[in-house]
Amino acid sequence: MRKKLIHHYAGVALDLLWQVTQKELPRLAARIGPLVPPNSAR
């Protein structure tokens, strides 16, 4: 997906991209949250 977003952004289905980010970003944040120091700048 990254290659398509970077090189073929005009052909990206924005509705599909939105669905993926809504589903995957919360899971990613939950997984990396414990790795981020509590006082780090966000």
pLDDT of 31: 93
This prediction's pTM:
0.49
In 4-29, which positions are buried (b, 16+ CB within 10 angstroms) versus exposed (e)?
Answer: eeeeeeeeeeeeeeeeeeeeeeeeee
Contact by Cβ (8 Å): 42, 35: no
| Amino acid at the residue 10 | A
Look at residue 36 and tell me if it is in a domain: no
Number of compact structural domains in the chain: 1
At residue 30, the pLDDT reads 92
Q: Which residues of the chain register pLDDT less than 70? A: 1-2, 4-9, 40-42
38 in a structural domain: no
Domain span at 9: 2-31
Residue 25 lies in a domain: yes
Residue 40 maps to a domain: no
